[in-house]
Amino acid sequence: MEKERGALRLVALDAAAARSGLRVGMALAEARALLPQLLTLEAHPAADADLLRSCAEACEMFTPLVALRGPDGLVLDVTGCVHLFGGEEAMLQRARRRMAAFGLTACAALAGTPDAAWAFARYRRNRVAAPGEDETLARDLPLQALDADSETTLALSRAGFRSLADLAERPSRLLAARFGSGLVERLYRVLGWEDIRLTPLRPLPDIVAEKHFPEPLGHVESLLGVLERLARDVAGPLERRGTGGRAFEASFFRSDGAVRRITMETGAPLRDPATIVRLVKLRIEALADPLDPGFGFDALRLGVLRSEAFAPRQKELDGRDAQADQDRALAALIDRLVARFGRENVRRFIARDTHDPVLAGGTISSLSTHPGASWPEPETGQPPARPLTLFTHPQPIEVLAEVPDSPPLRFRWRRMLHEVTRAEGPERIAPEWWREASPAPATRDYYRIEDQAGHRFWIFREGLYEDRNTQPRWFLHGLFP
């Protein structure tokens, strides 16, 4: 039950309550008057949505094309998949048993269009429509099968329509003029005259290979053996396309409806079956929540989520390619580390197109395809203009200079006094006003300096003396090697 229009109303019923004459939308007080021993629970729409999504994931063992329909329905496009389950009737019954594992009683049907199947599931339960039979079965359905709003259904009833056959015999332009074009579109879809494409719950993989087991399989080693055969199945299409996989997903469908998915990315295009299985095994071993087979797995699927061109390398005359071997070894190392520690824990350096030293460099995931900017080329014979590494937070220093805008003569850092013998600068870095939030940081003047001991530092003055609104301060930002 939930509160609606100022009163508690029933939003769902079990079979016993329905047989007692209760209906959805009835006020709780009226329902208790009819059935004093009625037991009610508060509705939880979010939990219902989570359950429906879990049911959708469980049904992906039948087809990757699974879409949500309303708050309590699923639509599956099983074109080309029925033969894997022994025919349409067997597939329908197996889908209902899979929903029973969630404690649900499913009403299912199979038809030529999604809207026809949806209508048959509600009004011709567990019916399999033969090819070309959609219109014959749909004509006898009531007006509610169009799934229109209550006002439209009431208007149709008052106009004298009782079934879809009555609507089918009327000119479509008259129906559209009176009830809108949406009603005509729904009518045509239920009758099987028009079809629509489903928007699946999850994006479809580039290539899919799967195996369904006659009896649930519970041993992980046996599953890995099946997975290797599936990896060979996807390697063939990848090779024919001249591509390799950059992201793979192994889906384990358990007999109780639970689905475990293991996703892995690679540093380079990959299509070697043994390597794919080895990465999956590493991911399984690194799982915080172990792969529990329960009563066994009904099906196993391997999908290529993303692929890229796989360019073969020309070998040397002796048959070796040192650079290719080195690249493969590095890519294999990255793949193993990612499988063990996670995508975001294995990183690489990247340059950014900015003059701000704080933002000029950073790290991203080693598997990211972000190209980044090019690193600046050092001048030949010249010392580096900036340190390779900077302090995470610039460290304040005390500075003595001849005049305010001149380089420092000496500075104190960490209680040690450093006498400056050489200084270069300033390199003025203004704030990037087009990126910075208000207020923008102060202007900085950077100096490269060297003390009497030969140590070299990169320091800056934050703020300008001519700006009376700020008090300039000095900081040490990095050390030169």
| CATH number of the domain that residue 256 is part of | 3.30.1490.100
Average pLDDT rounded to a whole number, residues 164-175: 90
Given 155, 190, 225, the domain boundary residue is 190
> Phi and psi (nearest 5°) for 301?
-130, 140
Of 79-83, 115-119, 350-354, 393-397, least confident by mean pLDDT is 350-354
Greater confidence (195 vs 357) lies with: 195
| Residue 201 belongs to some domain of the structure | no
In a domain, 272, yes or no: yes
58 and 179 assigned to the same domain: yes
Report if residue 196 sits inside a domain.
no
C-alpha 399, offset from chain centre: 52
Rg (CA), the chain: 34
Structural domain harbouring 108:
53-190
Work out the average pLDDT over 418-436.
Answer: 83
Q: Are residues 219 and 305 in the same domain?
A: yes
Residues 239 and 110 in one domain: no
Amino acid (one-letter) located at 261: R
Residue 243: inside a domain: yes
What pLDDT, on a 0 to 100 scale, did the predictor assign at position 290? Answer: 83
Residue 401 clears pLDDT 90, i.e. is over it:
no
* pLDDT for res 313: 59
The predicted-structure confidence for 93-145, as pLDDT tens digits, reads as follows 999 999 998 888 888 999 999 999 999 998 988 889 988 899 999 999 999 99
Is the per-residue pLDDT at 229 higher than 90? yes
pLDDT at 67: 94
Tell me, yes or no, whether 303 and 354 share the same domain.
no
Q: Are residues 21 and 121 part of one domain? A: no
Query: Domain for residue 25, yes or no?
Result: yes
Residues 358-384: what's their mean pLDDT? Answer: 76
Looking at the structure of the chain, the number of domains it has is 5
Please tell me whether residues 237 and 274 are part of one structural domain. yes
- Which of 386, 402, 388 lies closest to 444, judged by CA? 386
pLDDT tens string 23-71? 888 888 888 888 888 888 888 889 999 999 999 999 999 999 999 998 8
Same domain flag for 129 and 86: yes
If asked whether residues 218 and 126 sit together in one domain, one would say no
Same domain, 270 and 334: yes
In a domain, 70, yes or no: yes
Q: Is the pLDDT of residue 159 over 60?
A: yes
Residue 46 lies in a domain: no
Give the end of a domain, one of 138, 156, 190. Answer: 190
Q: Residue 405: is its pLDDT beyond 80? A: no
- Does residue 170 register a pLDDT over 80? yes
Q: What is the mean pLDDT of residues 64-86?
A: 90
**Is the pLDDT assigned to residue 87 strictly greater than 80?**
yes
Q: Is residue 219 part of a domain?
A: yes
Q: What is the distance between the alpha carbons of residues 306 and 203, in angstroms, rounded to a whole number?
A: 11
Residues 294 and 230 occupy one common structural domain: yes
Q: Which of 148, 151, 144 is nearest to 183 (CA)?
A: 148
Are 74 and 94 in a shared domain?
Answer: yes
Sign, CA torsion 136/141/145/146: positive
* Mean per-residue pLDDT over the chain, rounded: 86
The CA distance from 189 to 243, in Å, is 39
Judge if 19 and 124 occupy the same domain.
no
